[in-house]
Amino acid sequence: MEPRIRDRPGRIDVLIELGLVKDIPLALRFLKRFLGAAYREEEHAPLAQMLQGQPGSHFLEVCIAGAMHALEQDRTDILYEDLLWAHEAILQGRIAASELERFMPASARERIGFFGKER
């Protein structure tokens, strides 16, 4: 969780950290829970090993993004390929976000001025 959000007063009463999903049966439970009626053992179970070691929130994001990807392809069935695409896209996003210089605003000295005005 972003420290600036987490540490703001009045935002969060209790922070519970569950840790990473470290075994395949638990990974399968997360997939079943987040895919709901769309879950098919033969289609989705092979992904559990690949997702092992990720936090539960990653499973949720993979399932949401995979469902959206399937809908963009005009399908209602969520395939292994949709979830794999989502997993890889999220991991790539993490890599990009970890490159802090790319996302950090310029310092006050580097900025020309506010609202496009020269100082």
Residue closest to 78 by CA, chosen among 90, 62, 89:
62
pTM of the model: 0.72
Distances, alpha carbon 104 to alpha carbons 2, 35, 101, 107, 113, in Å: 14, 35, 5, 9, 17
Ordered alpha helix ranges (H), 73-103: 80-98, 100-103
The answer to whether 27 and 1 have CB atoms below 8 angstroms apart is: no
pLDDT at site 94: 86
> Could you tell me which residue, 104 or 81, shows the higher pLDDT?
81
pLDDT at site 101: 59
> Which tens digit of pLDDT belongs to each residue from 27-82?
999 999 999 999 999 999 999 999 999 999 999 999 999 999 999 999 999 999 99
* Helix/strand/coil for 75: coil
Ordered alpha helix ranges (H), the chain: 3-6, 24-35, 41-44, 46-51, 56-72, 80-98, 100-103
The answer to whether 3 and 35 have CB atoms below 8 angstroms apart is: no
Give domain limits for the chain: 20-100
20-100 has which CATH code? 1.10.8.60
Interior angle at CA 19, CA 43 and CA 24, nearest 5: 30
Can you tell me the distance from the alpha carbon of 41 to that of 43, in angstroms, rounded to the nearest whole number? 6
pLDDT surpasses 70 at 108? no
pLDDT surpasses 80 at 11? no
